[in-house]
């Protein structure tokens, strides 16, 4: 008799998820490991979502990378970091970054890495995620590849206070035109003392870097906000 298929179970907590649970990147990562020939018992996984969906913060991608790393450690799977990066790259272009997240300059489709030196110790990071959904299709349809005015590798070596106007998220031009609230939030962060502010990825989170604890949280009570010291 053929062996019964292994059934892995994923239960959810925290922020709600969109789409079919069976297509969640966590379960896809587990299935990918099995397809690559690695053996481990059936899993019962509880996923507590803290990062909102569609935030441009890599929540799903980091979940997938964490699952691969965790299973490799738990069951002693013979996988190097490079092998894990190549494997999770099949799940999404930004998944490899989260295998060992650190400051990196990414090329290719976002999976060819060069380490960079960035020290943000002591800075405060503020995230503001409004109830705005930016689809990947919308984001990429509006962006046009071009040579940047300033080298990102050179800019990241400058003090944070000099990043404004030099470190630019090219998605912002078209996304802000379609969703002006995002532009307003970015401007509000600057007005309240952010040394640098930008949209994260393809949106819709706006983040700001502050030298001291930001005092403008009350301005964003209608949105998801998060503040931490780095």
- pLDDT value of residue 2: 46
Q: Evaluate if residue 1 carries a pLDDT over 70.
A: no
- At residue 113, φ and ψ (nearest 5 deg) are -110, 145
The pLDDT value given to residue 14: 65
Q: What average pLDDT does the segment 91-98 reach?
A: 92
Q: What is the mean pLDDT of the chain?
A: 90
pLDDT for residue 173: 92
Give the pLDDT score at 3: 46
Task: State residue 111's pLDDT score.
Answer: 81
Candidates 3.30.420.40, 3.40.1260.10, 3.30.70.890, 3.30.1330.10; correct CATH number of 124-229? Answer: 3.30.70.890
Asked if pLDDT for residue 4 goes beyond 60, the answer is no
**Model confidence pLDDT, tens digit, residues 73-94:** 999 999 999 999 999 999 999 8
**The predicted structure's pLDDT at residue 140:** 84
pLDDT score recorded for residue 7: 77
For 20-62, the pLDDT digits (tens) are 788 899 999 999 999 999 999 999 999 888 888 788 899 999 9
Q: Is 138 a residue whose pLDDT tops 90?
A: no
- Give the list of residues 6+ apart from residue 57 with CB closer than 8 angstroms, or none: 51, 127, 200, 201, 205
CA distance 125 to 91: 28
Q: What is the mean pLDDT of residues 12-16?
A: 68
For position 149, what pLDDT does the model report?
87
Question: Do the beta carbons of residue 175 and residue 203 sit within 8 Å?
Answer: yes
Domain 9-115 fold is Ribosomal Protein S5; domain 2 (3.30.230)
Rounded to whole angstroms, the Cα distance separating 224 from 151 reads 32
For residue 14, give every residue at least 6 positions away whose Cβ sits within 8 Å of its Cβ, in sequence order, or none. 47, 48, 49, 50
Mean pLDDT lowest for which of 84-88, 122-126, 191-195, 200-204? 200-204
Domain ranges of the chain: 9-115, 124-229
CA separation (Å) from 117 to 103, 125, 157? 7, 18, 7
DSSP 114-175: EE-----TT-EEEEEE-S----HHHHHHH------SS-HHHHTTS-GGG-TTTS--TTHHHH
Q: What is the pLDDT of residue 53?
A: 79
Mind listing the pLDDT tens digit for each residue in 101-113?
889 998 888 888 9
């Amino acid at each position: 008799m053929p062996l019964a298929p292994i059934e892995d179970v994923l239960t959810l907590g925290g922020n709600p998820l969109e789409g079919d649970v069976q297509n969640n990147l966590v379960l896809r990562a587990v299935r990918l490991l099995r397809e690559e020939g690695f053996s481990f018992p059936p899993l019962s996984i509880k996923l507590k979502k803290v990062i909102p969906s569609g935030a441009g913060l890599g929540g799903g991608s980091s979940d997938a990378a964490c699952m691969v790393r965790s299973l490799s450690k738990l069951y002693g799977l013979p996988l190097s970091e490079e092998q894990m990066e190549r494997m999770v790259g099949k799940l999404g272009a930004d998944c490899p970054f989260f295998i060992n997240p650190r400051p990196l300059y990414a090329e290719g489709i976002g999976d060819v890495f060069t380490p960079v030196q960035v020290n943000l110790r002591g800075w405060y990071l503020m995230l503001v995620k409004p109830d705005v959904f930016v689809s990947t299709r919308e984001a990429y349809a509006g962006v046009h590849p071009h040579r940047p005015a300033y080298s990102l590798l050179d800019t990241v070596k400058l003090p944070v206070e000099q990043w404004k106007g030099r470190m630019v998220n090219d998605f912002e031009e078209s996304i802000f035109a379609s969703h002006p609230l995002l532009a307003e939030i970015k401007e509000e962060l600057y007005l309240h003392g952010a040394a640098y502010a930008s949209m994260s990825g393809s949106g819709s989170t706006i983040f700001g870097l502050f030298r001291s604890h930001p005092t403008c949280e009350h301005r964003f009570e209608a949105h998801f906000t998060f503040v931490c010291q780095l």
